[in-house]
Structure 1
Amino acid sequence: MIGVTQSPKGAHQLQSTSDLYPSSSLATPRTNYHLWLAAIKPPMYTVAIAPMTVGAFSAYALNDTLHLPSFLFSTFASVCIIAWLNLTNDAFDFETGVDKNKKESVVNLLGGTNRAKNFVLMLAITLLSIAFALLYLAFRHDTAPLIALFIAVLEGYVYQGPPFRLSYKGLGEFLCFTSWFIATTAMHYSQTPVDTALPLSERLRALFLLPLTSKHVLAPATLVAYPTTLILFSSHFHQIHDDAAVGKRSPIVRLGTLLASRVLAIAVGALCLLQVYFYLSSSLPFLPFVLSAFAFPLAIKLALFVLHYHDKPNFVRAAKYKAVAFHFVHGMLLSLGYWLS
C-alpha cells in the first residue's frame, strides 16, 4: 500500500506503509521464528491465570483461607486447557478453510496437511487429559468445581468444534463470557468452606447460584469474563475477509469494522462504569477497585487503536495482544487488591 502526502512546495511525496502506520512484530511476523511465536501465542496463556487468581483471592478476602495445592493444580490445569483450546481451534479452522491464509497456524506451519491436523489434535487431547488429571487432584474431595470447569471446557469445544461450530454463528463472545464466568465462580467456590456431606447435586446447585446469591462473587466473575470477551472481539478485526469467505458470522462480519470498532469503544467505557457500580454497591472492595483502575489506560489505548486501524488488517491484528495486556494487568491488580483486603 502506498500513501500520498503533499510536500510544502506542492510536490507529491510517496510514503510507505511503515511510515503511515505503526510497525509491530505481532502484526507482521517476518521470520519462521516469529511465525511460531505467533502460532504458540505465549501472551494468550495469561488468560488462564486471571480466573484462578481472582476467584481464589476474592474468596480469601471473604474467608481468610486459601487452599494452596488446589489453587496451584487448577492454575496449571487452566494453562493446559488454553493450550488445548488454541491447538483445537487451529485444527478445526483448518477443516473449514478459514485459516488457509493464516501463516501462523500451527497446522499450516507443520505442512498444512490432514496428517498435521491429526497430530495437532492428538497433542491437544493429551494436554486436555493432563488438565483434567490436575483438576482431579485439586478437587477430588469435592468434585463440584471439577464438573463446573468441565462445563466451561465443553463451551470451549462447541465454540469451534464440529458439529456445533457456534462461533461461526456469531455466538463466540457469549460462550467466552459464560465460560470464564463459570471458571472464576468455580475457583471462588473451591476456596470456600463447604459441607461435603451434602449431595453432589446440592453442592453443584450452590456453586451455580453463587453469583445470584452473593454480590461478592458476581463482581469478580464479571470483571474476569468481560475483559476476556474483549480479547475475542478484538481478534476478529484482521480476519474479516477470511471469516466472511467461509460464512463465519463473527460480530465484525455482521457489523463491519467501523461500527464494530465503535462498539468496542463503548464496551470499554461500559466496563469502566460497571466497575464503578460494583464499588458503589459494595460488591467490590476498595483496594481491588482502586488498584485495578490503573489498568484502564491500557483498555482506552486498545479502543483508540482499533478505532484508528479497524480497516487495516496487517496492523489491527495486534489489537488482541493489547486486549490480552489489559486483561492480564487488570486481573493481576484485582487479585492483588483482594489479597491485600
Structure 2
Amino acid sequence: MSVAEEKIKPIVEEIPSKGKLWYAAIKPPMYTVAVIPICFGTALAYGETGIFNPLIFVTFLFSAILIIAWLNLSNDFFDSYTGIDVNKAHSVVNLTGNAPLIFWISNICLALGLMGIIMINLWLGDWTVMGLIFACCFLGYTYQGPPFRFGYLGLGEIICFITFGPMAIASAYYSQAQNFSVSSLWASVLIGISTSIILFCSHFHQVEDDIKAGKKSPIVRLGTANGAKVLTTSTLVFYGLCILFTFLHLLPYSSLIVFLSLPPAIKMINHVHENHDRPSLVQNSKFIAVKYHFFSGLLLSVSLILNNR
C-alpha cells in the first residue's frame, strides 16, 4: 500500500460489545454519588457528636443506591421520548427496546429505596429524614421528568448541588444525631460542588444531540472552551473552600488530606482542556470526575472520623 493510500485509509471505530454497552448503561462507578453524601453526613455526625448507628448507616446506604438506580433508569426512560438519546447506544431503553419495562423497574427501585428510608424513620420515631429524602426525590424527578424537564433548561447542576449536597448530607447527619448542624450545612457545599462537576462533565461530548433536542445544557450555553474554563474554576473553588472551612474551624485540620485527591482532579481538568471539542475523547471525562468526587469525598469523611479520636 502506498503512502498516499495509507493516508486516505478510513478509520474504523471499534464497535463496543454488548457487555461494554451494558456496563456503560448501568454505570456502576456513578453510584458513588449516593455513597459519598451518606458517608460524609454520617462522618460529620460522628465527628461532632460521637454517635454512630451502623444499622441506620447501612440501610441508608442501600436505600440511596436504589434511589440513584431509579433516577438513572427513569432519566433514560424520559429521554427516550424527547429523542435526545437516539444516538446513545448505551441507553438502557435502547439496549432493551422496552421503555415501559425500564419505567416499572425504575419505580420498583424507588419503592424499595423509600421502604428503607421509612424503616429508618420508624427506628428514629421521627419523620424528618423522610421529608428531606422525599424532597430530594421530587427535585431529582424535575431534572428530566415532565412537565418540568429542568435539565433541558440548564438547571441540572443546581438541582444536583442542592440534592446531593446540603439536602442529602443533612438527611444522613440527622439520621444519626437527630439534629442539624450549621457546620455540616457549610461543609456539605463541598460535596454539592464535586457532584455537580460530574454532571457538568457529562455534557461535553453530547453538545450536538443536546442542541437537536432543544436541551440548553451549560455546555450548550457556554461552548466547550468556556466550559473547560468553568470546570477549572469550579475545581479550584472546591479546594479553596476546603482551606477556608478548615481555618474557620468548620472542618478539622485533618480535612486537608483532601489534597491527596489532586491527581484525579488535575487529570480531569487537563483531559477536558485538551479534548473539550472532541466528543469521542472527552466523553470519559465524567468518569475521571467520578474518581475525583469519590476520593475527595472519602478523604474528607475519613478526616472527620479521625477528628473524633
With structure 2 as the length reference, what TM-score do the two structures score? Answer: 0.93
| Identity across matched positions, percent | 38
Given the superposition, is the C-alpha separation of residues 253 and 58 from structure 1 closer, same or farther in structure 2, using an over 3 Å criterion?
A: same
Structure 1 SS opposite 2:81 = helix
Structure 2 SS opposite 1:103 = coil
Q: Deviations over 1:147-180 (max 9, x none)?
A: 1011011110000001100000110000000001
CA distance in 1, matches of 2:132, 2:282: 35
What's the offset of the Cα at 1:193? 4.3
What's the offset of the Cα at 1:296? 2.0
1:156 aligns with 2:123: no
Greater fraction of residues in helix? 2
Match of 2:177 in 1: 192
Aligned partner of 2:63 among 52, 60, 77: 77
What's the offset of the Cα at 1:190? 1.8
Aligned partner of 2:226 among 259, 270, 279: 259
Contiguous gaps of at least 5 residues in structure 2: none
Match of 1:197 in 2: none
Letter in 1 for 2:155: L
Match of 1:315 in 2: 281
Structure 2 SS opposite 1:124 = helix
CA distance in 2, matches of 1:129, 1:17: 49
Given the superposition, is the C-alpha separation of residues 186 and 17 from structure 1 closer, same or farther in structure 2, using an over 3 Å criterion?
A: farther
What's the offset of the Cα at 1:220? 2.9
Q: Deviations over 1:8-52 (max 9, x none)?
A: xxx99959999xxxx9xxxx7611110000000010011110110
Letter in 2 for 1:220: A
Which moved further from structure 2: 246-255 or 132-141? 132-141
Match of 2:258 in 1: 292
CA distance in 1, matches of 2:188, 2:239: 15
Count residues in correspondence.
301
1:50 aligns with 2:22: no
8 Å Cα contact 1:234/1:323 also seen in 2: yes
CA distance in 1, matches of 2:185, 2:116: 26
Aligned partner of 1:88 among 43, 49, 74: 74
Given the superposition, is the C-alpha separation of residues 17 and 148 from structure 1 closer, same or farther in structure 2, using an over 3 Å criterion?
A: farther
Given the superposition, is the C-alpha separation of residues 144 and 16 from structure 1 closer, same or farther in structure 2, using an over 3 Å criterion?
A: farther
CA distance in 2, matches of 1:81, 1:177: 17
CA distance in 1, matches of 2:5, 2:188: 55
8 Å Cα contact 1:29/1:38 also seen in 2: no
Given the superposition, is the C-alpha separation of residues 12 and 304 from structure 1 closer, same or farther in structure 2, using an over 3 Å criterion?
A: farther
Given the superposition, is the C-alpha separation of residues 13 and 219 from structure 1 closer, same or farther in structure 2, using an over 3 Å criterion?
A: farther
1:169 aligns with 2:148: no
1:278 aligns with 2:264: no
Letter in 2 for 1:87: L
Aligned partner of 1:64 among 50, 60, 64: 50
CA distance in 1, matches of 2:29, 2:7: 36
Contiguous gaps of at least 5 residues in structure 1: 1-10, 195-206
What's the offset of the Cα at 1:332? 1.1
Match of 2:111 in 1: 129
Moved over 4 A (4+): 11-18
